Amino acid sequence: MKRIIKLTINGKPVETAVSPNQTLLQFLRDDMNLTGTKHGCGLGDCGACTVILDGKAVNSCLVLAIQADNSEILTIEGLAQDGKLHPIQQSFVDKGAIQCGFCTPGMILSAKALLDQKPNPSELEIRTALSGNLCRCTGYQKIVEAIGEAAEVIRMREES
Amino acid sequence: MGDYQVLNTRATRVDGPVKATGQAKYADDFKFQGMLYASILQSPLAHARILRIDTSKAKKLPGVKAVVTSKEAGLIKYGVSPARYDETLFAHDKVRYVGDEIAAVAASDPDIALEALSLIKVDYEELPAVFDMFEAMKEGAPLIHDEFPGNMNAEVHQEFGDTEAALQSCDLVVDHTFLNKRQDAAFLEPHSCVAVFENPGRLTLYTSTQVPHYVMRTVAMTLQIPVGNVRVIKPYVGGGFGPKCEATPLEMSCGLLSKITGQPVKMTYSREQVFLHSRARHQFYAEMSLGVMKDGTMVALRNKAVLDGGAYTSFGIATVYYSGSLLGGPYKLKSMKYDGYRAYTNKPACGAQRGHGGVAHRACFEQLIDITAEKLGIDPIDMRLKNIMVTGDMTVNELDMSSLGMKECIEAIRAGSGWNNKKGKLPKGKGIGMACGFFVSGAGYPIYRSDTYHSTVVIKLSEDGGVANVMTGSAEIGQGSDTAMAMIAAETLGIKLNDVRVYSGDTDYSVDLGAYSSRQTLMTGHATKEAAEDVKNQIASYLAQELNVPVASITFVDGIVKFDGGPGNFEKLRTNYIKEHRGWTDPPTGEYLTFREAARMAYLKAGTIVGTGKYKPPRLGGSYKGAAVGTSPAYGCSAQIVEVSVDLETGEITVDGMTDAHDCGLAINKTSVEGQMQGSLSMGLGECLFEEVKFDSRGRIINPSLGEYKIPTALDMPKVKSIIVESHEPNGPYGAKEVGEGAIMPTIPAILNAIYDATGVRINELPVTSERLFMAMKNKT
Ligand code: FES
Ligand code: FES
């Protein structure tokens, strides 16, 4: 039996029917066509499916779509504003933090959740916040650098 | 180094923004009208005779559109190297590992496809199985392929010089053995493919592959479709590292099911299926003896390899050759002997993975050098420098080091890590170690016998002349090849990087063998450069004629055209261009003629401006058997220093720092080069310290997930100091060569040498878990 859920995705209200066993990841990718959220394992191991749900980074493969009822969700598609990259996206591009790009949406959203809580994280805090997001390409170094730089850009923007 | 506008910079990747915003499309992101979902039935048994397959119930399940077995697929053999085609799409007489493919289903919904699989009934007669490579080679072991007695899949015997005599003449001969474990490539994107078969008989695959070209050929062969009617399109790929270098049962099944149903068919492997398909790093056993003189001069190396190949050949023939050939350098040797054996076992097939065939043997060799240096009382760095090859040297097995910054790499890490202040001066529990390595920049030959070009490239200018469209079959898999090709095209044409667009990964664009053996920068790079030169020459000849100036006086830089280094007299062209350009919003301005104007005017004269380029390596290497594996137009090399802390109570290892220097010839894009270096180090660190695909007693993988099969996280990786060492490679485009694989070569032995320095214990089996190290430390005291 399908159930109706109401939620906000990337600032837009959505009301739709979902099956009770459908994961949030499947719902976003298959029903909403938001394929920027990636499926790397389906088991909560890789973080490629990370989205921000009510301010927290979650593995969308471990959340049922019905559990997202009444929530607010941010996916990678909702981060750039008016065609302008978010500072985290921009620094990922500038710093070479992206290779194959499959971990990138999840990484960026984990980073966003971190910086929303902690605008000035230490390197260890950044690495800890990313420890649930696997990347096989980069060795993480440029990702960590990019997040550090984005944090600075955001802080400066907020100060001015 | 030349004076470049675009090359040798830190240009941002051309695919950065689409990947950062989630717009980049990967195979599983494609959807088509009427698309079906497919799934594969895989064997639950490691070795069994198939007595009967009954698909009738599955076929009757509502929503099921097709069920295929070997009956529908046929028994055409395929594989990687034609000399060892030992697979059929579906098993018909026997299954040879847990995961061997038996049938596939296409249904209107993924859940129905899975349900249908559960309705297929297979009767088996279980056979004795063998899982260990040494057991497999023993007399009386269960035979996996009738055609290969003794389960001997491939054997290599090579000798250069008289090794036994040379060893006899040495002051000291030291032995060492080493055993790694089967690895998984653990790319983040599971294999995925959508097949679209359209009348009259054309098949298009959208697939996650490193090698669109080889997939096209294999799929055409196995599905009996004329090769000209198969098109393979590689969307963005979420990592490959080797295992995506060959056509998969997933791709062939999708193709077959689409051909039968006439509807698009999609399939994506689960993470567990990625482990079952494998084709990743083999398990290697290495046994070596190094003969040296008292002063540290290396003389002779005897090397033996045993590889656990799994149930099929995959890339294995090349692998077993590489384990020998890639030890010929970067040290001078007078003689070298190699005996390699690849055994079949009832496990998933192993194939190519980053540092193909060379990684485990390099780990053994570089430890052996440290052991020998210690016996001789020589610093490990000095020992290596004493024997190091330099540009122009040739290895005993005839690998031509046409450029080799090995010495420079060693000096760079020695200075960059503070080695001199640390080696021998660290407290107990802290250690420092180093190692070197090198790798090919592409293979000298395609994997099938042919005179084909290894790469062709087409560059077509846009109608207004302002954009160069680079069309190539090469594969961007995350390494940054699209960006590298865009940079090479921009530099050669003398235009801005923003004015180049790369269309890649499509077999309809050009011929390119794909992303393996670290070949694209050199080979696709050459073809791109040649195509750009062709375009440039066409425009320059037009200008020379039109303006009556010598061709030699014309140069293109940064989007403008110079005549004898100045603006020249081009008024008439600009006037005509502006007339032509009426109604458009971007009239050309400035004191120089722009490339756009010149290209547009040349088009008006000659039609669409298209340039083509091509590359294949010259005949390389020796004439001995197997010389084709290991010979390359160029070799990249690297040296690394690793610092570790070991908890002497528990054996827990922390890697505190890594310093890495790599000679990549000219660094086309410095950021991408560092990215390859850092990624290699993390893969090497994972293999060294915790990665191991484990099996139970019946051949089932017990850790087929990224939770149980651990790869490095952000917390496992230390800060890496990456030092780019540039040489000029005469055989590379603009002097460039590989970086993607050579950088992993020294990582494992550098860690192992550092662990020894910290603990006094030599570990010769991976992974070095704290338990293994703890036991080794305990046994020593
Ligand atoms: S897909 Fe959700 S954690 Fe891997
Ligand atoms: S960029 Fe490929 S997995 Fe992170």
A35: domain CATH number is 3.10.20.30
pLDDT surpassing 70 at residue A89: yes
Cross-chain Cβ contact B477/A100 below 8 Å: yes
Do B324 and B264 share a domain, yes or no? no
Residue B8 lies in a domain: no
The C-alpha atoms of residue B480 and residue B11 are separated, in whole angstroms, by 11
Contact at CB, A40 and B189, closer than 8 angstroms? yes
**Over residues B6-11, mean pLDDT:** 98
Kindly indicate the confidence band of residue B2, based on its pLDDT and cuts at 50, 70 and 90. low
Rounded to whole angstroms, how far apart are CA atoms B781 and B767? 22
Residue B182 covered by a domain? no
Q: Are B684 and B359 in contact (CB under 8 A)?
A: yes
Q: Is the pLDDT of residue B1 over 60?
A: no
Q: Is the peptide bond between B82 and the residue preceding it cis, with omega within 30 degrees of 0?
A: no
* Whether residues B768 and B723 fall in one domain: yes
- pLDDT at position B77 is 98
pLDDT tens figures, A90-109? 999 999 999 999 999 999 99
Tell me how far apart the alpha carbons of residues B522 and B507 are, in angstroms, rounded to a whole number: 19
Phi, psi values for residue B638, rounded to 5°: -150, 160
d(CA B297, CA B293): 5
* Structural domain ending residue among the three candidates A52, A78, A104: A78
Residue B199's pLDDT band (boundaries 50, 70, 90)? confident
Q: Which of A78, A111, A144 is the last residue of a domain?
A: A78
d(CA B368, CA B570): 67
Q: Is residue B491 part of a domain?
A: yes
Which of B183, B188, B671 should one mutate to test binding to chain A, selecting the residue with the greatest count of A CBs within 10 A?
B188
Closest CA to B554 of B493, B499, B497: B493
Q: Which domain CATH number covers B78? A: 3.90.1170.50
Of B221, B256, B277, the position where a domain reaches its end is B277
User: Are residues A143 and A97 part of one domain?
Assistant: yes
pLDDT above 90: residue B70: yes
**Does residue B73 belong to any structural domain of this protein?**
yes
Rounded Cα–Cα distance for residues A148 and B285 (Å): 43
Using the Cβ of A101 and the Cβ atoms of chain B, whether some distance falls under 8 Å is answered with: yes
**Tally of CB atoms within 10 A around B551:** 12
Domain containing B316 equals: 283-445+622-780
Q: Tell whether the model's pLDDT for residue B714 goes beyond 60.
A: yes
For residues B411 and B638, the answer to whether their CB atoms sit within 8 Å is no
| Same domain, residue pair A138 and A72 | no
Residues A73 and A92 in one domain: no
Exposure of B239 by Cβ count < 10 A (0-12 exposed, 13-18 middle, 19+ buried)?
buried
Q: Are residues B369 and B464 in the same domain?
A: no
A115 shares a domain with A62:
no
The pLDDT assigned to B362 comes to 98
pLDDT at B351: 98
Q: Which residue matches tokens 């529908």?
A: B72
For residue B282, the SS3 value is coil
Instruction: Based on the fold, state whether residues B290 and B380 are members of the same structural domain.
Output: yes
* B313-342 burial: b if 16+ Cβ within 10 Å, else e: bbbbbbbbbbbbbbbbbbbbbbbbbbbbbb
Q: Look at residue B407 and give its three-state secondary structure.
A: helix
Is the predicted pLDDT of residue B240 greater than 90, yes or no? yes
> Are the C-beta atoms of residues B203 and B218 closer than 8 Å to each other?
no
Domain that holds residue A26: 3-78
Quote the DSSP letter at residue B350: P
Within this chain, do residues B268 and B296 fall inside the same structural domain, yes or no? no
**B672 in the same domain as B584:** no
What mean pLDDT comes out for the span B598-608?
97
Looking at the structure, tell me whether residues A41 and A66 fall in a common domain: yes
Structure tokens at B187: 């790319």
DSSP B490: H
What residues in A contact B720, CB-CB < 8 Å? 139, 141
> Looking at the predicted structure, is the pLDDT value of residue A68 above 90?
yes
- Specify the length of chain B in residues: 781
Q: Tell me, what's the pLDDT at B376?
A: 98
Report the mean per-residue pLDDT for chain A. 97
Which of B615, B630, B661 marks a domain boundary? B615
Same domain? For A60 and A95 the reply is no
What percentage of chain A carries pLDDT values higher than 70? 100
The answer on B642 and B603 residing in a single domain is no
Ligand 2 midpoint to CA B238 (Å) = 7
| Average confidence (pLDDT) over B69-90 | 96
- Quick one: B387 and B347 in the same domain? yes
Q: Is the predicted pLDDT of residue B544 greater than 70, yes or no?
A: yes
For residue B581, the model assigns a pLDDT of 82
> Would you state the pLDDT for residue B702?
98
Do residues A71 and A92 share a domain? Answer: no
Q: Mark whether A107 and A133 lie in a shared domain.
A: yes
B253 and B305 housed in the same domain? no
**Same domain assignment for residues A150 and A112:** yes
Task: Please report which confidence band the pLDDT of residue B580 belongs to, taking 50, 70 and 90 as the band edges.
Answer: confident
Q: What confidence category does residue A43 fall into, taking pLDDT thresholds of 50, 70 and 90? A: very high
B468 with B683: CB under 8 angstroms?
no
What is the structure's pLDDT at B329? 95
Residue B584 has pLDDT above 90, yes or no: no
* pTM of this structure: 0.98
Instruction: Give mean pLDDT, residues A21-43.
Output: 98
**Which residue, B573, B590, B615, sits at the end of a domain?**
B615
In this structure, are residues A14 and A7 in contact, taking their beta carbons and an 8 Å threshold?
yes
**Predicted ipTM of the assembly:** 0.99
A104 and A146 fall within a common domain:
yes
Name the one residue in this structure whose structure tokens are 């097709």: B66
Measured CA distances, B104 to A71, B52, B189, B413 (Å): 39, 16, 21, 52
CATH number of the domain residue A134 falls in: 1.10.150.120
In chain A, residues 32-91 whose CB comes closer than 8 Å to chain B: 33-46, 48, 75-77, 79-80, 85, 89-90
Q: Is A153 exposed, middle or buried (0-12, 13-18, 19+ CB in 10 A)?
A: middle
pLDDT score, position B585: 87
Q: What is the mean pLDDT of chain B?
A: 97
**Alpha-carbon span B46 to B65, nearest angstrom:** 29
Cα-to-centroid distance, B663 and ligand 1 (Å): 37
Q: What is the DSSP string of B86-115?
A: -B-SS-SSEE-STT-EEEEEEESSHHHHHH
Shared domain for B419 and B471, answered yes or no, is no
- For A15-35, what is the mean pLDDT? 97
Of A78, A110, A128, the position where a domain reaches its end is A78
Averaged pLDDT, A61-75:
98
Which residue, by CA, sits nearest to atom 3 of ligand 1?
Answer: A44
Domain total for chain A?
Answer: 2
Cα dist. B424→B96, B383, B576, B747 in Å?
51, 15, 74, 20
Arithmetic mean of pLDDT, B647-652: 97
- Would you state the structure tokens that stand for residue B600, as one six-digit string? 């547009």
Number of domains in chain B: 3
Q: Which of residues 471-510 of B touch A (CB under 8 A)?
A: 477-480
A134 lines ligand 1 (CB under 6 A): no
For residues A23 and A72, state if they share a domain: yes
**DSSP-based three-state secondary structure for B466:** coil
Q: Rg (Cα) of chain A, in Å, rounded?
A: 16
Position B1 in a domain: no
In a domain, B18, yes or no: no
Q: Looking at residues B661-673, what average pLDDT do you find?
A: 98
Whether B500 and B595 map to the same domain: the answer is yes
Mean pLDDT of the region A73-83: 96
Query: What number does the ligand 2 atom closest to the CA of B187 have?
Result: 3
How confident is the model over B314-331, as a mean pLDDT? Answer: 96
The beta-strand segments (E) located in B393-467 are: 430-440, 455-461
Check pLDDT > 90 for residue B766.
yes
| Residues B172/B292, Cβ–Cβ less than 8 Å | yes
CATH code, domain carrying B301: 3.30.365.10
Interface A:B, Cβ pairs < 8 A: 177
B188 contacts A102? CB cut-off 8 A: yes
How far is residue B190 from each of residues A143, B248, B274, measured CA to CA in Å?
Answer: 22, 12, 6
Query: B744-762 pLDDT, tens per residue?
Result: 999 999 999 999 999 999 9
| Residue B620: predicted pLDDT | 84
Per-residue pLDDT averaged across B199-207, rounded? Answer: 95
Using CA of residue B128, residue B693, residue B660, residue B478, what is the dihedral sign? Answer: positive
Dihedral class, residue B751 (left if φ above 0, else alpha if ψ from -120 to 50, else beta): alpha
Q: Where does the pLDDT of residue B624 fall: very low under 50, low under 70, confident under 90, or very high at 90 and above?
A: confident
Candidate from A38, A44, A99 with C-beta closest to B675: A99
Q: Where residue A160 falls among pLDDT bands split at 50, 70, 90?
A: confident
pLDDT in tens, B480-506: 999 999 999 999 999 999 999 999 999
When pLDDT is cut at 50, 70 and 90, the band that residue B628 belongs to is confident
The reported pLDDT for the residue numbered B621 is 74
Residue B676 tokens, joined: 């390859």
For residue B379, what pLDDT is reported?
Answer: 97
